[in-house]
Amino acid sequence: MSLNMPAHAASQGTPTISLSAAHLSGAVGADGDPTVTVTVGQSGADASKLTVAATASSKASVAAPGDVAVTGTGATRQVSVDAQGQGYTDLTLQVTGPDGGTATATLHYAASGAVQQGADSRYFTGSSDASAAVDVGGGYVVVADDESNVLRLYDRSVSGAPVKTWDFSSGLGVSKEVDIEGAARVGDTIYWTGSLGNNKSGEYKAPRNTVFTTKVTGSGAATALALGGSYKKLRDDLVAWDKDHDDRLGFAAGTASGQVPKQIDGFNVEGLEFAPGSSTTAYIGFRAPLVPPKDGGKALIVPVTNIDKVVGSGAKAAFGEPIELDLGGLSIRDIRKNAADQYLIVAGSWAADDNSDPYALYQWDGVAGHAPVKRADLPTSDPGGWEAVVDVPDLSVPGARAQLITDCGSADLYGDGTEAKDLAHAEWKKSRATWFTVTK
């Protein structure tokens, strides 16, 4: 028997595969959907010789293996999914080594349905209850939600998870949500306000009566936020001021125990922006009440003339003459201006609706007594209610576009009857941001 046996290559180990996230959300007909990073390896093998592919789907009508794309050639690959239908599916991803060895990982995928202007839409994941947004330059935005005190930094151009998050609950001394509903930036300071109203059961919750600031350093992906001052009596000041003026706006009744905030005669703040040319007078925009509180009533703005001192040093708030705006019977859901003092107002119903009531976008010059002009009716057939304007383009330029964000917290995104805010996985929670052309 010969002892001169041919030499064999060293044996290779079992391939390995891991995912940067086990859960992923996409949308039918969307551009820029988020991806998952897949890391693969095999001892004794060059990573470039490993292949990665989807081999199975638990519900092919949502996404089949052929709807999964894998890019990259090294130890890390990017996986994207082209959703075909609304719902959930488990996708099996398999790595195969040059020796035929395999390993698999499961990606739990959820697809929301197609929406109008899908190509102009992006989905910010990690939260579904977007309620206020501020541009921080470089194509990035800080978004608040009304179910927590977490601020999230997103790339405006793509769908996906936040780049950074900040939770200011501890610094604000609160354990429950502030119910952040409005924001405005002046210089390097962002002002944030709670709704100031009762909760949906008509109960007073102190954290909601909070206005606070964050200081911005850097921009774009390098944006950093630091907590500034806070003030927790703005609601009280508004009620006292209105009482001194013969209860003309009904603030005392609107904040009474048992009073639901989202009523035509309720009390609920959703907009915050600075007056033209001012860094000290802030406009407080109300979702409720309408003035007068009946169908066809006007939207209400109350100027706080010393907001810098209110939040900076705890001074009692001082107020200017209320401003009433004809928004076709709708109220203020957000208000935002640019450096040229051109304003956009998201107008919507005062009601705690199912997001099917009318929404519209108005342009205004910020001057009391000047009428706003409707720019567009906003679509209402898709999930979510229009809640925030990221920034305002130059409205004197034809074809100017603005990005608006929806609150999808109560939406059934995946067709299983579950509200988005109650979904088990943060990666499946999301709000939608859509670009609209606002000038002709």
User: Tens digit of pLDDT for each residue in 391-421?
Assistant: 999 999 999 999 999 999 999 999 999 999 9
Show the beta-strand stretches assigned E in 257-366.
268-274, 282-291, 298-304, 323-325, 331-337, 343-348, 359-364
Please name the amino acid found at residue 240.
A
CATH assignment of 118-437, among 1.10.760, 2.120.10, 1.10.3470, 1.10.405: 2.120.10
Q: Which of 66, 71, 70 is nearest to 84 (CA)?
A: 66
Residue ranges of the chain with per-residue pLDDT less than 70: 1-11, 354
Predicted local confidence at residue 357, as pLDDT = 87
Q: Could you tell me the pTM of the whole model?
A: 0.95
Predicted local confidence at residue 355, as pLDDT = 72
| Residue 236: C-alpha distances to residues 228, 252, 254, 316, 317 (Å) | 21, 9, 12, 10, 9
List the end-to-end C-alpha distance of the chain, in Å, as a whole number.
Answer: 90
Q: Give me the architecture of the 16-112 domain, per CATH.
A: Sandwich (2.60)
Predicted local confidence at residue 5, as pLDDT = 36
- Rounded Cα distance, 406 and 115, in Å: 12
Please count the other Cβ atoms lying within 10 Å of the Cβ belonging to residue 185.
19
CB 242 within 8 A of CB 254: no
Please name the amino acid found at residue 119.
A
- Rounded Cα distance, 393 and 402, in Å: 6
Predicted local confidence at residue 265, as pLDDT = 98
The domain ranges of the chain are 16-112, 118-437
**Same CATH fold assignment for domains 16-112 and 118-437:** no
Q: What is the CA radius of gyration of the chain?
A: 25
Predicted local confidence at residue 353, as pLDDT = 74
